[in-house]
Each structure stands twice: as structure tokens, then as C-alpha cells.
């Protein structure tokens, strides 16, 4: 199991290393960068959904907090981008912890409702505070630089994001096999049983939720700097749903499922653009069909089909 | 002072009645299947948009309205038959994604066939405002509140006095036990989707002369209906109605006295407070877990 788990990581690294040399043009490079960014967010979200069994319907809100921290703090207050990114992540983490503590004392999936509300509040605040955020039109984000070196070309961004993705996958695999990860899995299996063997249920759930929110915030900052522009759409309800869908389509509680789900759903709108006006219908129909026929998600379904022979 | 308060109360009750109908829709489906139907908002939109479409196509108002309720009901049944029944017993997340998929399909189809424009319906009985203690009340608001009140009474009768209604109630208490005494629980599921779609559509039709409609109004209306259902205690019919009216009133008061730009987040701030301080909602039953 151990070896096979890392085997996937090697394949991923190989693909990431070869990809920029085989992609025909900058359009595909841009797509690959956005896939990798989404994959990292989804990895964090999948730890929450797949292992802690909790849904967040407001993850785009956290993404938006990070993105706007990176846009507003350097532009209006002259902060260094790195400092702004960290400030955004810390603020998101504190907000997530504040919301999560009382919620996780309850039974059932109340986190879905709380995060839904939180995400919408963040989105509307960003839309309304136009003097800081540019309102619905969004605002430009200064370039990201560190120690005299500035990230500018798509190639440079690709290597940075690809490295981040490889590290995130590696970290997720290790996390799942750590005592922390075992506690999480126990939690998903049976909350009562895990409490009996001494797992502090509330603390673990809060920890994983805060972690996934901070992941999202950091990647929000990265997105903002990479695109060079932020709009409230980054933080809207639909985007939150897209992120959850990536988790579910790829496969809950599956590290590689997260990556595959992110890749597929980032590519899907591009593929559907040819449908002219029917994109929304097609997107919705694909969601429904996937969930009806592959309720466990792509990777776990395929793994159980082909995995038994090994 | 009083006139202003009364004015906000009227507009709050009007839009609150729509939330109440949506919340009842959530409640019906939740009780029958434990599914939170994120397509509920699209039924509201569908009702309004179809009413506009059928009246513009030249149908007399009553026929247009009847069709605008009937078609969403059929859509609700289709969703249940094609997407919910085949995956019964799946995880909550899976079911949520399916209903979100359904909502996208509905919204997308309306956008393709009825366009992206904002539409309005003429008010059912004129636009002459009624003056009450210095505040004005539009006749359409009376329609909204009146029809909602009638629906609530009819639903109460249905659930307390008819066999079908009691069967639906029994299924919501304990599905297995209901099956054992011979209740067709699949039929119950079928009924609840048809009824909640019809309720949503009705709300959408009634409110359209006041708030206008377009292909994308469903998301916000649906989410606020959901907040109303949770506020009242998810699964409780009376709670849904009270929750809907409360959300509407608080929103109107907030928009009037605080800031109209922050009208939309008010229900969602409310939901956070509810979850922190009274997680079962106003009328929710205490749930005990058996291990």
C-alpha cells in the first residue's frame, strides 16, 4: 500500500516535469497552471470532506480572503506581498477556527450551512466595499517578488506551482498515514468509537477545517498574483460548488482523486465552450451523470475495479 | 416613525411569504428523503419565468399561471425519478451535488430558451396602493400573503386530516416503520418533489410583479429559503413558515434601518448566530443519536 501510494507521486512528478515541453502553446500552459492551483486547493478540501466527513460550501470565500489580502494590502497599505499573503492566511485561519469551534460541537452536517453563509457574506462584502476592492469590477494585483527576484513569465509560475503541487501531494500522503490522519479516518468511520479510544473529535475536526481554509487562502493569494487581477467571482458560491464537485468527482478521501478531479473540472469549461450557450446545461448534466453512476468518484471506483487483480 | 416601521414590515412580510413557500419546499423533500434540495430556488425562478412566457404567448392569466405551476411540478418529478431515486442511500455530499447539477441544468435551459433578460408580470389586481396608517401596501402584496396563508392552511389540512398526508408524515418520522405498515415510501418521495416544486413555483409567480424575475434569481431566493428552513428547525413545517416570515422581516428592517447594500447577507449572518446559539432552530426537535 505504502509503495503503491508513492508510485503515483513519482508519476505525477514525471508528468509535471515533462508537461511544459510538450504543451503546444501558452494557452495550455495557463490551463495547466490553473489545474495545479485548483488541485492544491482540492487536496486540502478533500482532507476535510473525505476524511473528516464534513462539507464546506464556502471554500471560495476563504480563497477570496487570501486573494484580496494579496491585492488590497500591498496596493493600499504598501505591504510586502509575502507579508500580505501570510496575513491573509492567518486571518482566514482565525476566522475558520472561530466559526468551526461552536459548529463542530453539534452533530450532523451543520458546517455546510455555516460555511455557505460565511462564503456569501465574504463575497457580498467584497462586492460592496468598492473603495478598497474595486467592487464587482475587481482590482489589479501587484506582481509577486522575493529578494529582488520577480515572478513574471508563465514558465516561472508553472515551475513554482508544479513544485507546490508535488509537495502538497507528498504532504497529504504522509499526513494520512500519520497518527493525525489515522485519527481523522477513525473519525469518519465512527465518531463515538474514536472518542472512546481517546480521539479529541472536536479538536481534530477544527484542525482539519482550519488547515483546509488556510490552504485555500494561500492558493487564493497565488491565484491573485498569477492572474494579476482579482474579481468577486473568485469568491462566489458557484466557485465553492465547483471546488466541492472536484473533490466528489475525483473521489472522496482519495489524494490522487483530488488531482484528477481538479484537472478534469478545470478543463471542462474549456471543452464546453464549443457548446455556445449550452455550457451551463452540459456542466450540470455531467455533474448529475457522474454522481448517479459513479457516486464514489472516479479514482476510487476505477481503483476498486482494477485494483483487485493486483 | 410608525408609518416607516409598518412600511418595512409590509415589504418584509411580502418577500418573507416567498421564503416561507421555498422553506416549506425544502422541508417536504428533507422529510421524505433527508436530501437538501439545492434546486429549490430554480423552481421559484421557473415559476416566475414560465408565467411571463405563457402570458406573453397569449394565454389568459389563470391558464398561464396554472401551467407555470404544473411544468415545474413535472420537472420536480423528473428530478426525483431520474436522479434521486436511483442513488437512494448515497452520501449527503453526493445527493447535494446531484441537486446542484439539476439546478444548473434548469438554469441553463431557461437561459437558452427564454433568454437572459429581466422580465415582469402585471400585478394581478392593479397597481393602486392601499394606504394603512401612513404606509402603503401594494395589492400584489396582499395576493402574496393571502395565497401563502391559504397554502399553509391547505397543507395543514392535508398533513393532519388526509390519509396521504399522514402517510407522508409517517415516512418522515421513520421510513422503515412506514414501509412496514404498508406505506409506499417511493410514492411519498415522488409526491414531495412534485409538491415542493409546485410550492416554489407558486412563490415565484406571486412575487414576480413586485421583484421582477430573470434566469438567475433562483440561487439567492433558494438559499434564503434554505436559511428560513434551518431557522425554523429543518424538517418542521410550522418552523419553515415562521422562519420564512422572520427572514423576510429582518431583511427588510436591515435594509431600511442599516444599509440596503448589506440586505442580502443579513439572512446568512442570522444563520451563523442560529447555529452558534440555538442549533436546532426555533422549532426543531431534539435529536438523540443511537449508537
- Per-residue pLDDT tens over the stretch A38-55: 999 999 999 888 887 788
Q: How many angstroms away from the CA of B96 is the closest CA of chain A?
A: 10
Q: Do B104 and A55 touch (CB under 8 A)?
A: no
E-strand stretches of chain B: 130-132, 135-137
B130-132 and B135-137: which strand pairing? antiparallel
Whether residue B104 is contained in a domain is answered as: yes
Q: Quick one: pLDDT at residue B157?
A: 94
Per-residue CA distances from B208 to A60, A190, A202, B105, B147 (Å): 30, 47, 45, 22, 14
| 3-state secondary structure at position B50 | helix
Q: Does B180 touch chain A (CB under 8 A)?
A: no
β-pair partners for A230: A139
Alpha-carbon torsion (A28, A29, A32, A37), positive or negative: negative
Taking residues B139-167, report their average pLDDT: 93
Q: What does the pLDDT look like over A198-215, one tens digit per residue?
A: 778 888 889 999 999 999
- CA closest to A293 among chain B residues: B87
Task: Enumerate residues 6+ apart whose C-beta is below 8 A from A19.
Answer: A32, A158, A162
Instruction: Judge whether residue B43 has pLDDT over 50.
Output: yes
Q: From CA B30, how far away is CA A165, in angstroms rounded?
A: 39
The percentage of chain A sitting over the pLDDT mark of 90, rounded to a whole number, equals 38
The percentage of chain B sitting over the pLDDT mark of 90, rounded to a whole number, equals 54
Q: From CA A17, how far away is CA B120, in angstroms rounded?
A: 56
Of A163 and B259, more confident:
A163
Q: Can you list the alpha helix ranges (DSSP code H) found in A152-310? A: 154-177, 179-189, 191-196, 201-227, 237-250, 255-272, 279-293, 298-306
* Torsion angles phi and psi, residue B70, rounded to 5: -65, -45
Q: How many other C-beta atoms lie within 10 A of the C-beta of residue B33?
A: 22
**Predicted confidence band at A107 (pLDDT cuts at 50, 70, 90)?**
low
Cell of B151: 397554502
Q: From CA B128, how far away is CA B138, in angstroms rounded?
A: 7
Instruction: Judge whether residue A2 has pLDDT over 60.
Output: no
Contacts of A288 in chain B (CB under 8 A): 83, 98, 101-102, 105
Residue of B41, B104, B215, B287 to mutate, testing the A interface (most A Cβ within 10 Å of its Cβ) = B104
* Torsion angles phi and psi, residue A228, rounded to 5: 80, 10
Residues in chain A, overall count: 310
Q: How many other C-beta atoms lie within 10 A of the C-beta of residue A77?
A: 9
The percentage of chain B sitting over the pLDDT mark of 70, rounded to a whole number, equals 97
Per-residue CA distances from A228 to A154, A221, A224, B197 (Å): 12, 10, 6, 43
Q: How many angstroms away from the CA of A73 is the closest CA of chain B?
A: 23
**Predicted confidence band at A73 (pLDDT cuts at 50, 70, 90)?**
very high
Q: Quick one: pLDDT at residue A109?
A: 64
Domain count, chain B: 1
Q: Do B272 and A117 touch (CB under 8 A)?
A: yes
Q: Which of A135, B229, B185 is nearest to B221 (CA)?
A: B229
β-pair partners for A229: A140
* Torsion angles phi and psi, residue A143, rounded to 5: -65, 155
Q: Do B275 and A103 touch (CB under 8 A)?
A: yes
> Domain span at residue B242?
2-277
Q: Do A102 and B275 touch (CB under 8 A)?
A: yes
Q: What does the pLDDT look like over B209-222, one tens digit per residue?
A: 999 999 989 988 99
pTM, two decimal places: 0.86
| 3-state secondary structure at position B131 | strand
Of B184 and A186, more confident:
B184
Q: From CA A99, how far away is CA A210, in angstroms rounded?
A: 10
Taking residues A122-133, report their average pLDDT: 88
- Where on the phi/psi map is residue A149: left (φ > 0), alpha (ψ -120 to 50), or beta? beta
Q: What does the pLDDT look like over B116-130, one tens digit per residue?
A: 899 998 898 888 888
Whether residue B288 is contained in a domain is answered as: no
- CA closest to B230 among chain A residues: A113
Q: From CA B251, how far away is CA A20, in angstroms rounded?
A: 51
**Predicted confidence band at B56 (pLDDT cuts at 50, 70, 90)?**
very high
Q: What does the pLDDT look like over B133-146, one tens digit per residue?
A: 888 888 999 999 99
Instruction: Judge whether residue B288 has pLDDT over 60.
Output: no
Cell of B147: 395565497
Q: Which of B237, B31, B221 is nearest to B152 (CA)?
A: B237
Q: From CA A100, how far away is CA A7, in angstroms rounded?
A: 35
| A-B Cβ pairs (cutoff 8 Å, strict) | 120
Instruction: Judge whether residue A92 has pLDDT over 80.
Output: yes
Of the listed ranges A147-151, B169-173, B235-239, the one predicted with least confidence: A147-151
Q: What does the pLDDT look like over A288-297, one tens digit per residue?
A: 998 888 888 8
**End-to-end Cα spacing for chain B:** 55
Residue of B45, B229, B258, B268 to mutate, testing the A interface (most A Cβ within 10 Å of its Cβ) = B268
Q: Could you tell me if B215 and B50 are in contact, meaning their C-beta atoms sit under 8 angstroms apart?
A: no
Instruction: Judge whether residue A133 has pLDDT over 70.
Output: yes
Q: Do A281 and B83 touch (CB under 8 A)?
A: no
Q: Quick one: pLDDT at residue A194?
A: 79
Taking residues A75-91, report their average pLDDT: 93
> Domain span at residue A202?
2-239
Instruction: Judge whether residue A131 has pLDDT over 70.
Output: yes
Burial class (CB in 10 A: 0-12, 13-18, 19+), A72: buried
Q: Which residues of A touch B (CB under 8 A)?
A: 49, 55, 99, 102-103, 106-110, 112-114, 116-118, 120-121, 124-125, 128, 192, 237, 241, 244-245, 248, 252, 277-288, 291-292, 295
Of A120, A128, A285, nearest to B101 by CB-CB distance is: A285
What's the CA angle centered on A140, arms A134 and A144, to 5 degrees? 140
Q: Could you tell me if A282 and A272 are in contact, meaning their C-beta atoms sit under 8 angstroms apart?
A: yes
Whether residue B284 is contained in a domain is answered as: no
Contacts of B268 in chain A (CB under 8 A): 116-118, 120-121
Domain count, chain A: 1
Q: Could you tell me if A281 and B104 are in contact, meaning their C-beta atoms sit under 8 angstroms apart?
A: yes
Q: Do B98 and A117 touch (CB under 8 A)?
A: no
Q: What does the pLDDT look like over B59-81, one tens digit per residue?
A: 999 999 999 999 999 999 999 99
Q: Could you tell me if B240 and B196 are in contact, meaning their C-beta atoms sit under 8 angstroms apart?
A: no
CATH number at residue B104: 1.10.3470
Q: Quick one: pLDDT at residue A309?
A: 40
| 3-state secondary structure at position A52 | coil
Of B100, B111, B226, nearest to A287 by CB-CB distance is: B100
Q: From CA A276, how far away is CA B158, in angstroms rounded?
A: 45
**Predicted confidence band at B186 (pLDDT cuts at 50, 70, 90)?**
confident
Name the DSSP letter for residue B195: H
Q: What does the pLDDT look like over A250-290, one tens digit per residue?
A: 988 889 999 999 999 999 888 888 877 788 898 889 889 98
What's the mean pLDDT when you consider all of chain B?
89
Q: Do A280 and B104 touch (CB under 8 A)?
A: yes
Q: Quick one: pLDDT at residue B74?
A: 97
Q: Quick one: pLDDT at residue B203?
A: 95
Q: Does B272 touch chain A (CB under 8 A)?
A: yes
Per-residue CA distances from B132 to B5, B8, B125, B135 (Å): 12, 13, 18, 5
Q: Does B114 touch chain A (CB under 8 A)?
A: no
**Predicted confidence band at A310 (pLDDT cuts at 50, 70, 90)?**
very low
Residue of A50, A127, A295 to mutate, testing the B interface (most B Cβ within 10 Å of its Cβ) = A295
Q: Do A284 and B276 touch (CB under 8 A)?
A: no
Amino acid at each position: 500500500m505504502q509503495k503503491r501510494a508513492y508510485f503515483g507521486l513519482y508519476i505525477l512528478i514525471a508528468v509535471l516535469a515533462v508537461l511544459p515541453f510538450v504543451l503546444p502553446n501558452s494557452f495550455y500552459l495557463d490551463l495547466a497552471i490553473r489545474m495545479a492551483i485548483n488541485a492544491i486547493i482540492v487536496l486540502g478540501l478533500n482532507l476535510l470532506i473525505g476524511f473528516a466527513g464534513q462539507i464546506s460550501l464556502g471554500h471560495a470565500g476563504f480563497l477570496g480572503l487570501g486573494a484580496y489580502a494579496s491585492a488590497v494590502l500591498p496596493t493600499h497599505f504598501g505591504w510586502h506581498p509575502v507579508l500580505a499573503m501570510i496575513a491573509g492566511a492567518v486571518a482566514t485561519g482565525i476566522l475558520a477556527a472561530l466559526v468551526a469551534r461552536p459548529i463542530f460541537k453539534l452533530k450532523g452536517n451543520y458546517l455546510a450551512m455555516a460555511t455557505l453563509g460565511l462564503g456569501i457574506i465574504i463575497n457580498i462584502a467584497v462586492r460592496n466595499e468598492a473603495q478598497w476592492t474595486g467592487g464587482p469590477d475587481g482590482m489589479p494585483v501587484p506582481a509577486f517578488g522575493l529578494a529582488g527576484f520577480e515572478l513574471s513569465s508563465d514558465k516561472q509560475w508553472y515551475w513554482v506551482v508544479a513544485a507546490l503541487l508535488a509537495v502538497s501531494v507528498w504532504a497529504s500522503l504522509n499526513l494520512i498515514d500519520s497518527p493525525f490522519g489515522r485519527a481523522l479516518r477513525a473519525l469518519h468511520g465512527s465518531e463515538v468509537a474514536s472518542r472512546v479510544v481517546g480521539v479529541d473529535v472536536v479538536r481534530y475536526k477544527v484542525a482539519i477545517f482550519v488547515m483546509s481554509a488556510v490552504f485555500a487562502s494561500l492558493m487564493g493569494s497565488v491565484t491573485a498574483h498569477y492572474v494579476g487581477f482579482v474579481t468577486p467571482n473568485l469568491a462566489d458560491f458557484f466557485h465553492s460548488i465547483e471546488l466541492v464537485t472536484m473533490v466528489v468527482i475525483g473521489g472522496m478521501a482519495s489524494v490522487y482523486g483530488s488531482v484528477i478531479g481538479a484537472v478534469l473540472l478545470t478543463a471542462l469549461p474549456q471543452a464546453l465552450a464549443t457548446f455556445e450557450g449550452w455550457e451551463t446545461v452540459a456542466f450540470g448534466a455531467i455533474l448529475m451523470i457522474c454522481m448517479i453512476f459513479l457516486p464514489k468518484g472516479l479514482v476510487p471506483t476505477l481503483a476498486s475495479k482494477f485494483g483487485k487483480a493486483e | 416613525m410608525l408609518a416607516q416601521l409598518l412600511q418595512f414590515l409590509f415589504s418584509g412580510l411580502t418577500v418573507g411569504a416567498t421564503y416561507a413557500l421555498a422553506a416549506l419546499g425544502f422541508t417536504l423533500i428533507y422529510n421524505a428523503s433527508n436530501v437538501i434540495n439545492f434546486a429549490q430556488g430554480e423552481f421559484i425562478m421557473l415559476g416566475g419565468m414560465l408565467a411571463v412566457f405563457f402570458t406573453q404567448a397569449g394565454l389568459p392569466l389563470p391558464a398561464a399561471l396554472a401551467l407555470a405551476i404544473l411544468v415545474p411540478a413535472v420537472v420536480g418529478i423528473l428530478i426525483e425519478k431520474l436522479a434521486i431515486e436511483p442513488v437512494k442511500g448515497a452520501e449527503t455530499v453526493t445527493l447535494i451535488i446531484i441537486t446542484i447539477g439539476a439546478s444548473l441544468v434548469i438554469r441553463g435551459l431557461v437561459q437558452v430558451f427564454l433568454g437572459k433578460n429581466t422580465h415582469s408580470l402585471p400585478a394581478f389586481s392593479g397597481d393602486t396602493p392601499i394606504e394603512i396608517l401612513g404606509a402603503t401596501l401594494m395589492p400584489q402584496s396582499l395576493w402574496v400573503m393571502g395565497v401563502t396563508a391559504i397554502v399553509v392552511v391547505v397543507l395543514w389540512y392535508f398533513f393532519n386530516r388526509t390519509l396521504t398526508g399522514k402517510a407522508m408524515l409517517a415516512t418522515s418520522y421513520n421510513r422503515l416503520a412506514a414501509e412496514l405498515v404498508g406505506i409506499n415510501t417511493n410514492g411519498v418521495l415522488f409526491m414531495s418533489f412534485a409538491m415542493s416544486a409546485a410550492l416554489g413555483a407558486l412563490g415565484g409567480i406571486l412575487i414576480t410583479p413586485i421583484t421582477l424575475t430573470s434566469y438567475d434569481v433562483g440561487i439567492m431566493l433558494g438559499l434564503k429559503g434554505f436559511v428560513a428552513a434551518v431557522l425554523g428547525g429543518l424538517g418542521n413545517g410550522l418552523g419553515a413558515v415562521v422562519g420564512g416570515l422572520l427572514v423576510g422581516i429582518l431583511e427588510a428592517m436591515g435594509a431600511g434601518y442599516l444599509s440596503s447594500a448589506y440586505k442580502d447577507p443579513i439572512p446568512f449572518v442570522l444563520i451563523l448566530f442560529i447555529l452558534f446559539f440555538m442549533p436546532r432552530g426555533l422549532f426543531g426537535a431534539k435529536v438523540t443519536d443511537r449508537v
